[in-house]
Amino acid sequence: MNLASLLTEGQIIPELESTDHWDVIGELVDHLTDHGFLPARLRDDTLEALKEREEKISTGIGSGVAIPHAFSDQIDDVVAVFGRSREGINFEAVDNNPVHFIVLFVVPKSQHHLHLKTLAAIAKLFTRSEVRRQLGAAENREDILAVFGAQPVSA
């Protein structure tokens, strides 16, 4: 799976406005609903599902990356959004470092295998320091999407 297959330029926020963990999740979900990637009627349920997941253990996986994710029984396809914060956000990451790159995704509840596959592919991508460097240096949505698109497809 290539992250570029889940994202369009419209699903990329080159500079997040929020600076707080929960506000950022809200900003990302609002972006999805405001731009028609997620039905607005699912906003509150999605936020609640993400909050429940995040309260179990932070999705800040380290190296400046967080992958908040949840299930929904009201969607048919994975919905994702990428946000970048040059300033960094305290996401209570496992390494206690600020998070600069956030990939939030929602998976249909019936597709648990897809959830694991998506999570693994995103985590694997962000283990590469060169990818993080390129994403940090990217000027705009197009550049960010090009970084994702240039990555090899993994299973």
Predicted pLDDT of residue 1: 59
Q: From 52, 68, 72, select the one nearest 112 (Cα to Cα).
A: 72
Catalytic annotation present for 115: no
User: Which residue among the candidates 21, 31, 69, 100 is catalytic per the annotation?
Assistant: 69
Phi then psi dihedrals of residue 19, to 5 deg: -125, 0
Examine the pLDDT at 155 and tell me if it is beyond 60.
no
54-82 pLDDT, tens per residue?
999 889 999 999 999 999 999 999 999 99
CB-based contact 59:21 (threshold 8 Å): no
Question: In CATH terms, is domain 3-149 a member of 3.30.70.560?
Answer: no
Dihedral sign of CA atoms 147, 11, 82, 154 in order: negative
Whole-model pTM: value is: 0.93
Q: From 2, 1, 26, 5, select the one nearest 102 (Cα to Cα).
A: 26
